[in-house]
Amino acid sequence: MNEQTVRQVVTARFYESLAQSGVEVTSIPQPQLQAIVNALADGVFAAFDAMEAEADHSFAETNSRAADSEEPGTASSAPESPAPIADHLEKEELLWSGRPYLSIGVRYELTTQRVRLIRGLLGRSYHEIELVRVRDTSVTQHLGERALNVGDITITSTDPSHPEFTLHNVKDPMEVREMIRQATMREKQRRGLHYREEM
């Protein structure tokens, strides 16, 4: 939900509640009343923003605690993995995190191993692409988006469930695209995968 939608919902609900209560506001001129309603909507938007940030922080802390609890040398009920697979299970690090311009409830993340799309404020859904599956990236910007320095980054991959993965309205899209390209090259090199032109 973007900022404009939040304003529309809050404005509609405010005037509906005012009409139902039977209270008439005549001492405040209409433009000033609308400014108050807009300020309320901005407050709601900020509250959603804070809720999302808190949820992300809590999620990161939970993952960090889970990773820290797996101390080397401790016994585990799971069987030992073969060495080649274990080499690929290196600790994943967050390289970049962002949201679509003027949007809440959607977050993009680039780690050392994958690109993630996270949706939802309270409930969450995750979609991701392993960097080793990335084939190409491109950036699309319209005139208005260029003025705001936002754009869409399209990732083409060999992932059958997500052959094309688009990050919409990303701030500094050329810089983020380059980060994805560099991270992809490093991950493929780490996995021992080399570029081969497909005929």
Could you list the mean pLDDT of each consecutive 10-residue stretch along the chain, which spans 199 residues? 67 75 78 79 68 59 53 45 52 91 87 92 85 94 90 94 91 95 93 65
Residue 94: name the closest of 122, 63, 69 by CA: 63
pLDDT in tens, 145-190: 888 899 999 999 998 888 998 999 999 999 999 999 999 999 999 8
E-strand ranges in the chain read 94-98, 106-111, 114-119, 125-130, 134-140, 150-157, 164-171
User: Dihedral angle at the C-alpha atoms of 69, 71, 76, 78, nearest 10 degrees?
Assistant: 80
Token pair, residue 27, equals: 């001492």
CB 41 within 8 A of CB 11: yes
What distance in Å separates the CA atoms of residue 117 and residue 139, rounded to the nearest whole number? Answer: 17
